[in-house]
Amino acid sequence: MTNEITDTNPEEAVHCFALSKNDSYVMSASGGKISLFNMMTFKTMTTFMSPPPAATVLAFHPQDNNIIAIGMEDSTIQIYNVRVDEVKSKLRGHSKRITGLAFSNVLNVLVSSGADAQLCVFGTDGWEKQKSRFLQIPSGRTPPASSDTRVQFHQDQIHFLAVHETQIALYETTKLECVKQWSPREGSAPISHATFSCDSQLIYATFLDATISIFNAANLTLRCRVLPAAYLVGNASTTVYPLVVAAHPSEPNQFAVGMTDGGVYVLEPLESEGKWGANPPAENGSASSMSITPPSGASNSDQPQR
């Protein structure tokens, strides 16, 4: 399954994909047209939406695989119906490219985030904008003029996680209020990515210095911190760090990190501990750390052969 690409440098293109609710379809883009693939046959079903603007983030509607939300480089969100090959709505509210989209099938809303550090909530019935709010950037922090913000719904489908290089934050959707926020202390490495565990009890967060922090999702208290030496075995490079973290779909204490050098590591706690944070660090959160030995399930599946 290969995306159509443009003449621009592939490393500069924004790459995005999304799986449908029953894993039957995947849609994907790499700076060119969006492709819709059948996961049973791996065949391309259709391609659509020639750039510009290019797609930057994709999401399937949770109740209808034919309805797709497409975040665009030009700050709009297009609601596209694959079956009739038509844009049903164009949503506006951001001033920079869209970097995150998440549907709640309980509240019937779409939450979006952008490189403008803004969050928006749209109703899925008429696609009207209900609320918008800028992230609360910690005092003393000056984030770049354009920085990705990503969003993910909690299992309760009422709260969502917002991830920015300056913070991880939990929001209540109906009022769009920030209920909890955690920020790296000043001078420490920015956040590269974060995600809920499959049961939404933990949050796995990765940083540009290759450390990984594991939080209680309920109150954002730090359970433990994984140092790079615990999993970057034999890799002394200081430029390698996780770009993305993904939670195992059914094992709440297992997760994978995708690295800047193409490596993928799967981590889980030592069998003797059973879960993350059996020996919790000091209460001062971002400053505390604990080194662990490489987990028994760790693997580096995509490293080039040497």
Q: Do 179 and 240 belong together in one domain? A: no
Question: What is the average per-residue pLDDT within 80-84?
Answer: 94
Torsion sign over Cα 184, 285, 248, 161: negative
> Residues near 30 by Cβ (< 8 Å), separated by ≥ 6?
3, 4, 5, 10, 13, 15
- Band the pLDDT of 9: cuts 50, 70, 90: confident
Q: Do 113 and 253 belong together in one domain? A: no
Strand partners, 167: 164
- Residue identified by tokens 């918008």 is 132
Q: Is the pLDDT of residue 281 over 90?
A: no
pLDDT of the residue at 82 = 93
Domain residues for the domain of 32 are: 1-183
Q: Do 9 and 50 belong together in one domain? A: yes
User: Could you say which of 123, 152, 183 is where a domain stops?
Assistant: 183
- Between CA 147 and CA 127 the distance in angstroms is 26
Q: Is the pLDDT of residue 297 over 50?
A: no
Q: Is the pLDDT of residue 300 over 60?
A: no
Average pLDDT over the chain reads 88
Summarised one tens digit per residue, pLDDT across range 183-237 is 998 889 999 999 999 999 999 999 999 999 999 999 999 999 999 989 987 755 6
Strand partners, 186: none
pLDDT of the residue at 295 = 37
Domain holding 178: CATH number? 2.130.10.10
Q: Do 162 and 278 belong together in one domain? A: no
Report how many domains make up the chain: 2
Q: Do 160 and 65 belong together in one domain? A: yes
Q: Do 303 and 234 belong together in one domain? A: yes
Lowest mean pLDDT among 44-48, 124-128, 169-173, 287-291: 287-291
- Band the pLDDT of 291: cuts 50, 70, 90: very low
User: Could you say which of 149, 183, 217 is where a domain stops?
Assistant: 183
- Residue identified by tokens 């309805």 is 67
> Residues near 7 by Cβ (< 8 Å), separated by ≥ 6?
none
Decide if 270 contacts 295 (C-beta within 8 A). yes
- Band the pLDDT of 21: cuts 50, 70, 90: confident
Q: Do 230 and 96 belong together in one domain? A: no
Q: Do 45 and 72 belong together in one domain? A: yes
Q: Do 176 and 129 belong together in one domain? A: yes
Summarised one tens digit per residue, pLDDT across range 44-77 is 999 999 999 999 999 999 999 999 999 999 999 9
User: Could you say which of 164, 183, 202 is where a domain stops?
Assistant: 183
Q: What six digits make up the tokens of 133?
A: 């709010």
Domain holding 221: CATH number? 2.40.10.480
Q: Do 177 and 268 belong together in one domain? A: no
Q: Do 170 and 268 belong together in one domain? A: no
Q: Do 113 and 207 belong together in one domain? A: no
